[in-house]
Structure 1
C-alpha cells in the first residue's frame, strides 16, 4: 500500500499500538507527526522511523484540550505542508468498580479518550475541509466499548462514544470526501495486560518467551501490535475511499466488522405497554433471548 505524499498525525504514538501505527504509516510512505504525552517516547519513535528511512517529527503533549489538538495539525502543516490522516489513539486507564471510581478517575479517562478524540478529529476536519481534497479520520475504540468490561465504566463509556462519533462524523464529512471509521483492536500491550479477561494468558505467554498461541490468535483474535497496523494503513489509503462509518475489529489472525446496534426483537400492544403487561410478556416475548454483556474470558483449548 503506497501512502507516498500523505501526511498523518498519530496520537499516543510513543509506544504500543500507537507506535506500531506510526511506524507502519511511515513504512508505507507517509510523513508522520508522532504525538505522545511522554516526549522521550515520541522522540524514540521518530528516531526509529528515521532509522528505517521514513519521515517523522515529534509533537509531545497530552491530548484532550483544543490547544494540543490544534498544535498537532499545525505541526503537520508546518513540517510537511498538509494533513491527510488523523489517527486518534492516545489513551489512559483508571480502572475501578463503580462504587470505588472517583470523579478524577472518570474525568481523566473521558478527557483523554473521548474529548481528545473529539478535539483532534475536529481540528483535522477543519484543515481537511480547507484543503478540499478529502481525508481520513481513524478513531481507535475497544471491545470494552462494544460489550462493556468489569471495572471499566470510564473506559467503556469513552470507547462506545468514539464509535458513535465515527458514525455521526461519517455523515457530516461525507460531502468533503473525508472518511471516518472506528478501529476495534485487540493486541498484547501494557494496557490490555490490565484487563482481567486477558491478563493471565498474556502473562503466561510472556513468561514463556514465545509467540502467542495459535488458539489465542485465531479464536480470540489477540495478537501483536504489528498485527493491527495493516488495517490503519489500509484505511489511510485511497483503496479505502468508500469505507466510512464502520467499526472494524482486528487482532491476531482475525479481521471483523462489528454490527451497529439494531432492534433485535419487537412486540406491539394496542394502546401501549403498561408495566404489568411488560412483566407478563417479557420472558416469553421481547426478553426471551437477552443479549450478553462483558468481554468473555479467553478459553484455552483442552488438550
Structure 2
C-alpha cells in the first residue's frame, strides 16, 4: 500500500489503537496528524513517527466541538497541504448499568465517540470536497455498537450511531468520491486485558512473547494492535476504491463483514394489526425465531 503524498488525521492517536493506526498509515508513506488530550503522548507519537522519516504534526485537543475538528483539518492543510484520510478513533469509557448511569456519564461518552465523529467528519468532508480529489473517512465502531453490551448504554449507543452515520455519509459523499466505512476492531488493549476470560492468555503472551492462542485469535478474533492496523491502511488506499457504507470487523486472524439490519420475518393482516391479533400470531409467526443480543461470552477450550 502506497500512501505517499497523502495526509491522514487520526483522533485519539497518542496511544493504543489510535497510535497503531497512525504508525501504520505513516509506514505506508502518509503524513500524519496525531491528536490526543495528553500533550506528552502527542509529542512522543510525533517523534516516533518522524524518527522513521515520515512527516508528522500534533494537535493537543479534546475532540467533540467544531473548533477542535477544524483545528485538526487546518493543521493538516497548513503542515502538509491537504487532507485525504480521517480516522475517528478517540474514545472514553464510563461504564455503569442503566440505573446507576448519570447524565454526565452518558453525555461524556456520546460527546467523544458520536459527536466528535460527526464534527470531525463534517470538517474533513468540507475540505475533501473543496480539494475535489476524493477522500477516505474511517470511523471506528465496536462490537458493543453492533450487539449491545452489559453496562455500556452510552458506549453501545454511540458506536451504533457511528455505523449509522457511515451508511448515511456513504450516500451523501459518493459523488465527491469520498468513501466512508466503519471499522469494528477487537485487540488486546488496556481495556480488553481486564476481561476475565481474556486476561490470563494475554498476560501469558506478554510474559513469554508467544502469540495469543488460536482460540482467541480465530474464534474470538482477538489479537494485537498490529493485527488491526492493516484494515485501516487498506481503507485509506486506492485498493479500497468502491468499498463504502460498510461495517468491517478485524481482530487476530479474523476479518469479517457485518450485516446491516434488515427485516428478518414479515407477516400481513388485511386491515392492519390489532394487539390481540399480534399476540395470537407472534410466537408462531414473525416472532418465532427472535434475534440474539449482547456480545457472546468468550470461553476458552475446556472452560
TM-score when normalising by structure 1? 0.96
Q: Tell me which residue corresponds to 1:50.
A: 50
Quote the Cα distance in structure 1 between the aligned partners of 2:270 and 2:86.
Answer: 50
- Judge conservation of contact 1:197–1:295 (CA < 8 Å) in 2: no
Quote the Cα distance in structure 2 between the aligned partners of 1:241 and 1:55.
Answer: 25
Quote the Cα distance in structure 2 between the aligned partners of 1:117 and 1:290.
Answer: 32
Unpaired runs of 5+ residues, structure 2, are none
Q: Tell me which residue corresponds to 1:75.
A: 75
Q: Assess, with a 3 A threshold, how the Cα gap between structure 1 residues 128 and 8 changes in structure 2: closer, same or farther.
A: same
Q: CA deviation digits over 1:56-84, x for unaligned, max 9?
A: 11111100000110000000000000000
Quote the Cα distance in structure 2 between the aligned partners of 1:199 and 1:269.
Answer: 52
- Judge conservation of contact 1:93–1:191 (CA < 8 Å) in 2: no
Q: Tell me which residue corresponds to 2:227.
A: 227
Residue 218 in structure 1 maps to residue 218 in structure 2: yes
Q: Assess, with a 3 A threshold, how the Cα gap between structure 1 residues 252 and 280 changes in structure 2: closer, same or farther.
A: same
Could you say what the CA RMSD is over the residues aligned between the two structures, in angstroms? 1.5
> What secondary structure, in the 3-state scheme, does the structure 1 residue paired with 2:265 have?
coil
Q: CA deviation digits over 1:43-63, x for unaligned, max 9?
A: 111111112222211111100
TM-score when normalising by structure 2? 0.96
Q: Assess, with a 3 A threshold, how the Cα gap between structure 1 residues 243 and 92 changes in structure 2: closer, same or farther.
A: same
- Judge conservation of contact 1:8–1:83 (CA < 8 Å) in 2: yes
> What secondary structure, in the 3-state scheme, does the structure 2 residue paired with 1:138 have?
strand
- Judge conservation of contact 2:93–2:109 (CA < 8 Å) in 1: yes
Q: CA deviation digits over 1:83-117, x for unaligned, max 9?
A: 00000000000000000000000000000000000
- Judge conservation of contact 1:193–1:199 (CA < 8 Å) in 2: yes
Range with greater deviation from structure 2 (135-144 or 190-199): 190-199
Q: Assess, with a 3 A threshold, how the Cα gap between structure 1 residues 27 and 266 changes in structure 2: closer, same or farther.
A: same
- Judge conservation of contact 2:86–2:136 (CA < 8 Å) in 1: yes
Range with greater deviation from structure 2 (205-214 or 6-15): 205-214
- Judge conservation of contact 2:36–2:60 (CA < 8 Å) in 1: yes
- Judge conservation of contact 2:64–2:111 (CA < 8 Å) in 1: yes
Unpaired runs of 5+ residues, structure 1, are none
1:80-229 correspondence runs (5 A)? 80-194=80-194, 198=198, 202=202, 205-206=205-206, 210-229=210-229
Q: Assess, with a 3 A threshold, how the Cα gap between structure 1 residues 63 and 210 changes in structure 2: closer, same or farther.
A: same
| Residue-pair matches, total | 303
